[in-house]
Structure 1
Amino acid sequence: MVLQPIVDVQEYRIHADDALVRGLDGASAGTILDQVNDDNRYSFDQACRIKAVELAARAAVDELIRINFLPRAVYEPEACIQAPIRAAIAYGFDSRRLVFEVSETEKVDNVLHIRRIFET
């Protein structure tokens, strides 16, 4: 995982950081995501959300942290959002700065399911 700054060029400041998947040796997201399958999708996605919070806390990030999630990886809507929020509390990171985004790499087949995730 890496945190990629998103810069507001009009105000010359970092607006947010995007949490992006990368390998330990800097491998691309595609290389890592190619290894995700139905058997490991949920644990991979959840681990990425928690790792993003950990990285933001360790870097003492003051901006919003944008965290993607894979829609098909969410079996329990409550767990999807609650685990990174609990991690934020454990790491002393303000959970109000977490922004969850639906990853563009997967098609959303069930809009009601996505809605339940965010209503949790």
Structure 2
Amino acid sequence: MSASNGKEFPDGSSSIVGNLAGHAQSQCSYRDIVVSQSKTGNLIQGKPQYQVVVRNDCQCGQSGIQLDCTGFTSVEEIKPSILRRAGNVCVLIQGGTLNKGDWAQFKYAADRQFWFNPISSDPSC
């Protein structure tokens, strides 16, 4: 999958960031962060692999995006430049900005699908 935007980080890794049309709203909040996921059909260490797409559906950029990761485990490593766990919170793209319609994606493998609920962000309107 190709991306229209990319983020490169000091450790040389990069996240996959793209742009999809989002809807305009007068106020942004973490509630405008949309998380979708699907099974890839691959097995990693015998566990199903899931692909997660996190998208900003607000007209303004949002940084410092945090997802609830309480109880999350994966047998597949996720690059910390894309999703870094800090206790029960996961920080997306090192706290960087997703502009209107931008998205970031990552994959994980676990016994069951895990719901990454957005809990915080810093909108820039």
Please give the TM-score of this superposition, normalised by the length of structure 2. Answer: 0.30
Q: Which has the higher strand share?
A: 2
Which is bigger in relative contact order (C-alpha 8 A, separation at least 6)? 2
More helix by share: 1
